[in-house]
Structure 1
Amino acid sequence: MMEALTKDVIFKKSPQELTALLYEGIIDNLEQAIELINEKSYVQANAKLQRTNDILHRLGIGLKYEAGPIGQQLDMLYNYMADQIIIANVKKDASILRDMITLIEPIIQAWNEILKKKVNVSQSSAVQKVSAYENSIMRVQN
Structure 2
Amino acid sequence: MFSAYSPRAANAYQRINVETSMHTMDQHQLVSLLYEGVLNSIATARGAMARGDVLGKVNAISKAVRILEEGLSTSLDKVDGGELAENLGALYDYCIHRLILANARNDDALMQEVMRLIEPVATGWNEIKKSGVGAAETPASGQPVLVEA
If the TM-score is normalised by the length of the shorter chain, which range does it land in? 0.7 to 0.9
% same residue: 25
Greater Rg by CA: 1
Mapping for residues 1-142 of structure 1, pairs under 5 Å: 6-57=18-69, 58-66=71-79, 67-118=81-132
Secondary structure of the 1:65 match is coil
Following the alignment from structure 1 to structure 2, what is the Cα–Cα distance between the partners of residues 101 and 42?
A: 20
1:110 shift after superposition: 0.3
TM-score (norm 1): 0.78
Following the alignment from structure 2 to structure 1, what is the Cα–Cα distance between the partners of residues 112 and 62?
A: 16
Q: Which has the higher contact order (CA 8 A, sep 6+)?
A: 2
Instruction: Say whether the 8 Å CA contact 1:42–1:92 is kept in structure 2.
Output: no
Aligned residues: 117
1:43 shift after superposition: 0.9
Aligned Cα RMSD in Å?
Answer: 1.6
Q: Which runs of 4+ in 1 moved over 4 A?
A: none
1:117 shift after superposition: 2.4
Stretches of structure 1 lacking an aligned partner (at least 5 in a row): 122-142
User: C-alpha offsets along residues 72-104 of structure 1, whole Å, 9 cap, x if unaligned?
Assistant: 100000000000000000001111101110111
Q: Greater helix share, 1 or 2?
A: 1
TM-score (norm 2): 0.74
Following the alignment from structure 1 to structure 2, what is the Cα–Cα distance between the partners of residues 62 and 16?
A: 12
